[in-house]
Structure 1
């Protein structure tokens, strides 16, 4: 599979790297890291990263601005994206000549002609490093290492989550050996704006916890608007409730637009991706997400999450 990916990359002069909507450090880090790696190995190729820029993640890297014509005769590599509707692209990618999918989520949608999906990896950035480890033309420079390490630290929540294993730590150590400033990356991952700090204070003051150990917060639009969050800043507050030792699983529900609820699902031990899939979402066993269109669905989802603990 990995050799097939390299052979395909070698065949194309133009390569566009995409990722999922509402990107996190792993999505951006995988994109930027793969772009840098390929540019250094194949300087004659045109290589782009595309998607919406998020100011909170500009420290990892910024996206390229390309037209729909760029996709003509191009190879698209979609990283860290479980299914095609989540690709952060208005559909332009469909005119590309070929699509490669590289992902570590459950394989619910094999939308690529080549699909390298492996749930055993802690992050997609870890998979991108493995490409360089196994394929001779590819190398990991300090610039590439900065992006990939940022992705690994982001998706493991600084090595807190259960997907962290020996391979994760070994690869992280190899990336650190390039001379990147791992303290700087940790500070970027940990710092928050004043508006996020106020959001976290609101969450701690208003979340609910059931007898089973399920915690939840519903932030309706009038309250959500008060925090003036930039895109991507809400994600910083999602792990907060889980730091409480009596909580087993939790959700953060936010209504950015009327009757359009984003639900972030998290768990310490019991799989919750089945609940997300029931409502049209998906993700990892312990970290998933979904959008729902009514408070009835939100309440039904809350009931299902509570019942998991019972």
Structure 2
């Protein structure tokens, strides 16, 4: 599959690499890492990474602004994106000649002309590392290794989740062998602003936990605005609830825009991606997300998550 992708890239002079909305370290690490790899292999070609720029993740890779007309004769590669509607783009990518999808989520939407999808990988960054080993004579640089390592520890939550495998650890060791500062990268991902610290305190004070072990917090727009968060910072608080031993699965609901609720779903062992899909989202069995457009739908989703736990314990 990697050879097929490389042959396709050979046919184009302009390649645009995209990823999903509300990017995390894996999305940007995969995007920026792949661009750096391909630029080494094809120095005569032009590679662009673009999407909403998040200042909190600029240290992994900073986005570029490109005109819509550039897509017309280009090849688009979408990484870490399960379905086309989640691509972080205004739709201009649809004018590209061809699209390649590289992803580690369940393949519910094979929107690419070439689809390299493998849910056995812990992260898309772990998949991207495969490029470096498939290209004869390729020398992995520290710059590339830093981006991919950031992506891997981001999606595995520093090797805590169930997708972490022997291959994940072996890949991480090979990246560390380049001499990257793994402690610095981990600390940078773990670091939070004072605003996020205040939000974590709010969540712990207002968190609801049902008898079944389902934890949830709904943060309405007026409350969220009080914390003055930068884009992307709310993602820091999502793992917090899972550290409580009585919690089996949980959601964090945030209303950034009026009556548009972003819902992060997480679980320790019970698959929750089916619930996310019922509400128009998706993701991994233990880590998924969706958006809903009313507080009533939020309440319905809360009820469904609680019932899921109850059924598990019957």
Give the alignment's TM-score, normalised by structure 1. Answer: 0.99
State the alpha-carbon separation in 1 of the partners of residues 207 and 132 from structure 2.
44
In structure 2, the residue matched to 1:170 is: 170
State the alpha-carbon separation in 2 of the partners of residues 219 and 112 from structure 1.
36
State the alpha-carbon separation in 1 of the partners of residues 143 and 255 from structure 2.
37
State the alpha-carbon separation in 1 of the partners of residues 137 and 96 from structure 2.
24
In structure 2, the residue matched to 1:101 is: 101
In structure 2, the residue matched to 1:214 is: 214
What's the CA shift string for 1:267-297, capped at 9, x where partnerless? 0000000000001011100000010111111
State the alpha-carbon separation in 2 of the partners of residues 228 and 62 from structure 1.
22
In structure 1, the residue matched to 2:259 is: 259
In structure 1, the residue matched to 2:203 is: 203
What's the CA shift string for 1:235-258, capped at 9, x where partnerless? 000010110001000000111111
State the alpha-carbon separation in 2 of the partners of residues 58 and 49 from structure 1.
12
* Partner SS state of residue 238, structure 1: helix
State the alpha-carbon separation in 1 of the partners of residues 92 and 143 from structure 2.
29
In structure 1, the residue matched to 2:305 is: 305
In structure 2, the residue matched to 1:150 is: 150
* Partner SS state of residue 73, structure 2: coil
In structure 2, the residue matched to 1:191 is: 191
State the alpha-carbon separation in 1 of the partners of residues 53 and 298 from structure 2.
29
Q: Is this contact kept in 2: 1:71–1:92, CA < 8 A? A: yes
* Partner SS state of residue 36, structure 2: helix
What's the CA shift string for 1:51-92, capped at 9, x where partnerless? 111011011110111111211211110000000110000011
Calculate the aligned-residue CA RMSD, in Å.
Answer: 0.9
* Partner SS state of residue 4, structure 1: helix
State the alpha-carbon separation in 2 of the partners of residues 51 and 88 from structure 1.
5
**Would the alpha carbon gap of residues 194 and 146 (structure 1) be closer, same or farther in structure 2, given more than 3 Å must change?**
same
In structure 2, the residue matched to 1:23 is: 23
Structure 2: stretches of 5+ with no match in the other structure? none
State the alpha-carbon separation in 1 of the partners of residues 117 and 90 from structure 2.
23
Q: Is this contact kept in 2: 1:6–1:135, CA < 8 A? A: no
What's the CA shift string for 1:200-251, capped at 9, x where partnerless? 0000000000000000001111111100111000000001011000100000
State the alpha-carbon separation in 2 of the partners of residues 132 and 11 from structure 1.
20
Relative to structure 2, which stretch is displaced further, 126-135 or 234-243?
A: 126-135
Structure 1: stretches of 5+ with no match in the other structure? none
State the alpha-carbon separation in 2 of the partners of residues 70 and 144 from structure 1.
26
Relative to structure 2, which stretch is displaced further, 133-142 or 70-79?
A: 133-142
| Aligned pairs for 1:1-310 within 5 A | 1-136=1-136, 138-310=138-310
Give the drift of 1:139: 4.0
| Number of residue pairs the alignment of both structures matches | 310
Q: Is this contact kept in 2: 1:250–1:266, CA < 8 A? A: yes
